[in-house]
């Protein structure tokens, strides 16, 4: 599950900004970044969401909409229903976060260094 704003909202906001004035160099770069995020999410969200849904189904032993399942997972962590150090939880959190940052900010220095370290840069 990706964070707000949605790709549609990002694109709409860039469009609105361009209609006014986006001649400032910094504003252009920020807009290009926003468009890249939307572009990457459109390309990968279906597969990422499906994988996340699969893992959540196994973790929580149930089904539901992605947001609902995430709320249930939050409750389970908050209540202590899932133990800290649970390997399946760790795997889920890491896998989900790696998919998120690949869309949100693939150039984040620590993430790039991580990819280099595991030979996947």
Partner 1 sequence: MNPQADAAVDLADILTKAAVVAGMEPRDIGGVKQLSGGASSEVWAFDLATDDGIMPLVLRRQPAQQRFSSPGPMTLSTEAQVMRAAKNAGVPVPHVLFELPEDLQAGEGFAMERIEGETIGGRILKLPELAAARGAMTQQCGEILATLHKADVGSVQLDLENVGPQEALAALEQRYRDTGQARPVFEYALRWLADNLPDDDRRVLLHGDFRNGNLIVGPQGIRAVLDWELAQVGPPAYDLGWLCVNSWRFQNPHLPVGGFGSREELLAAYQAEGGAVFGLEELHAWEVFQTMHWGVICAGAGKSFEDGNRSVEGGVIARRASETEFDLLRLLMPDSETWHV
**Is residue 39 near partner 1 by the rule CB under 8 A?**
no
Q: Does 87 bind partner 1 (CB under 8 A)?
A: yes
Helix axes 7-20, 25-60, angle to 10 degrees: 170
Q: In whole angstroms, how close is the CB of 101 to partner 1 at the nearest point?
A: 5
Smallest distance, partner 1 to C-beta of residue 113, A: 6
Question: Minimum Å distance from CB 28 to partner 1?
Answer: 10
Please enumerate in sequence order all residues whose Cβ is within 8 A of that of 116, keeping only pairs 6 or more positions apart, or say none: none
Q: Does 90 bind partner 1 (CB under 8 A)?
A: yes
> DSSP state, 75?
H
Give the number of other Cβ atoms within 10 Å of residue 42's Cβ: 13
**d(C-alpha 7, C-alpha 13), whole Å:** 10
**To the nearest 10°, the Cα dihedral for 82, 59, 4, 28?**
110
Q: Which is nearer to partner 1, 28 or 46 (CB)?
A: 28
What is the contact surface with partner 1 in residues (CB under 8 A)?
1, 3-5, 9-10, 13-14, 16-17, 27, 30-31, 33-34, 37, 67, 70-71, 73-74, 77-78, 80, 84, 87, 89-98, 100-101, 104-105, 108-111, 113-114, 118
């Amino acid at each position: 599950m990706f964070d707000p704003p949605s790709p549609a909202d990002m694109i709409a906001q860039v469009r609105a900004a361009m209609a006014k004035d986006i001649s400032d160099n910094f504003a252009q770069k920020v807009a290009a970044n926003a468009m890249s995020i939307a572009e990457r999410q459109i390309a990968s969200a279906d597969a990422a969401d499906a994988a996340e849904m699969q893992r959540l189904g196994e973790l929580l032993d149930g089904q539901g909409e992605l947001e609902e399942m995430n709320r249930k997972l939050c409750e389970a962590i908050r209540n202590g229903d899932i133990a800290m150090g649970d390997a399946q939880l760790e795997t889920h959190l890491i896998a989900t976060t790696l998919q998120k940052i690949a869309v949100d900010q693939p150039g984040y220095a620590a993430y790039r260094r991580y990819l280099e370290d595991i030979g996947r840069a």
